[in-house]
Structure 1
């Protein structure tokens, strides 16, 4: 029995290499093709940005995973998902991030992430008991704020796309946003990351304001931008920067 158990443990370890082993494998690959990129990754990204204190390790996992899903970039997704889980992001939160981003980055991107998560969850023996319910009891709704939002959107766009306006109210803000297995602050964080990652700057003011209402602090916003420059590129971040700056400055007046 002990031999069988030991073999099972060994097999599990082989199936889920440690973060250090995965990083070592990535470094070897980069050195074989782009040694300068490996230096930047080791010294600037992993040795610098990931160690900054303006975001927690857990937040960095959420931000990185959301960016990769939003841009449909599976190359580092399994590594990032494992690291996020190691840094305290719960399986139910990973599941909710994927579900949320189906609406904010597109259904195909979410289903691509599901394929990666399925293997990660299987290797880590994450079962249905660790995942959110399909229809949980919702969080309380801010009736006044939601009524104002719905009235504004309906007045502006109800005659053009009534189905979209109805789904925005019924599916997004009265269902998706009230799911309890991803905290409102983290759900807002994921949304802002997706908007920056996909260049949707027009939507940033509303969602960044909502994120800050939900507890995201200005230094953390700066940390998100600094982090995302490496994962979505400097142009995407600098395109978002003036909009973010304007939101923060207006809130501080």
Structure 2
């Protein structure tokens, strides 16, 4: 019991510290120009949302980074990269997130993110040996699930663009998704966050189901939606809510 309580206390301290770090990313100009926005930020976002333990501080930092990168909001991406590292995201995981989201939000966004994170890595002495291998030993592939996915995509879109179908199989599901530097749950987490951030709710059904298959709980998914409302805007989250509701209901049946 004492061990559990001590661990819980440490988690609370870590969460509070991460919330304070998140608050520190708010520019002074916000209070000078929009004091009401500063108040909402300090009380609702950093005071409540960031301290809600339904989603860990680490996951919140990773989700926020994914959303900002996908929206090409490079102005404060460096600060949020530092926040993610302080919250427990490893340099290799952040690097792999950038690589992964190149395929989901575009090469330009990924390149801009790498440029924003580079000074943070340099300042912290992150060397090449702390980054993911270019050609690692891949995780095992679920051949049956991949065959079913490919058949669906092939039969639906093969006559539209065989190149997209082939690259989706070869580059994404037989390579990118099997890279070990980012756990499958985290890879799914940042993918769903990116889809929400870019308004691609119609693509969420597959990926939210995959995220939950990879260990994301319904409560965590709901907390992610609540968190992202502040970083992507309420309309994008409300566009995603019906998809999430349908996924939750289908999995409960």
What is the TM-score normalised by the length of structure 1?
0.90
Find the aligned partners of 1:20 and 1:131 in 2 and give their Cα distance.
28
Check whether the contact 1:70–1:109 (CA below 8 A) recurs between aligned residues.
yes
Find the aligned partners of 1:219 and 1:154 in 2 and give their Cα distance.
34
Alpha-carbon RMSD across the aligned residues, in angstroms, is 1.6
Which residue number in structure 2 is paired with residue 134 of structure 1?
A: 134
Asked whether 1:185 is paired with 2:185, we answer yes
Check whether the contact 2:81–2:117 (CA below 8 A) recurs between aligned residues.
yes
Find the aligned partners of 1:22 and 1:101 in 2 and give their Cα distance.
22
Check whether the contact 2:19–2:46 (CA below 8 A) recurs between aligned residues.
no
Higher Cα radius of gyration: 1
Classify 1:23/1:146 alpha carbon distance in 2 versus 1 (closer, same or farther; 3 Å). Answer: same
Classify 1:46/1:21 alpha carbon distance in 2 versus 1 (closer, same or farther; 3 Å). Answer: closer
Asked whether 1:51 is paired with 2:51, we answer yes
Unaligned runs of 5+ in 1: 1-17
Which residue number in structure 1 is paired with residue 77 of structure 2?
A: 77
Find the aligned partners of 2:136 and 2:25 in 1 and give their Cα distance.
40
2:26 counterpart SS class? helix
Asked whether 1:123 is paired with 2:133, we answer no
Shifted more, 151-160 versus 169-178: the winner is 151-160
Deviation, 1:201, is 1.3
1:69-96 deviations in Å (ceiling 9; x for gaps)? 1110012211111111001000000000
Q: Following superposition of structure 1 onto structure 2, how do residues 1-253 of structure 1 map, counting pairs within 5 Å?
A: 23-24=23-24, 26=26, 28-253=28-253
1:9-55 deviations in Å (ceiling 9; x for gaps)? xxxxxxxxx99688457353221111111111111111110000110
Instruction: Report the number of matched residues.
Output: 236
Check whether the contact 1:196–1:236 (CA below 8 A) recurs between aligned residues.
yes
Which residue number in structure 2 is paired with residue 8 of structure 1?
A: none
Unaligned runs of 5+ in 2: 1-17
1:188-243 deviations in Å (ceiling 9; x for gaps)? 01110111111111110001001000000000000000000000000000011011
Check whether the contact 1:69–1:110 (CA below 8 A) recurs between aligned residues.
yes
Deviation, 1:125, is 1.1
Check whether the contact 1:70–1:101 (CA below 8 A) recurs between aligned residues.
yes
Check whether the contact 1:19–1:82 (CA below 8 A) recurs between aligned residues.
no
Find the aligned partners of 2:112 and 2:46 in 1 and give their Cα distance.
26
Where in structure 1 do 4 or more consecutive aligned residues deviate above 3 Å? 18-27
What is the TM-score normalised by the length of structure 2?
0.90
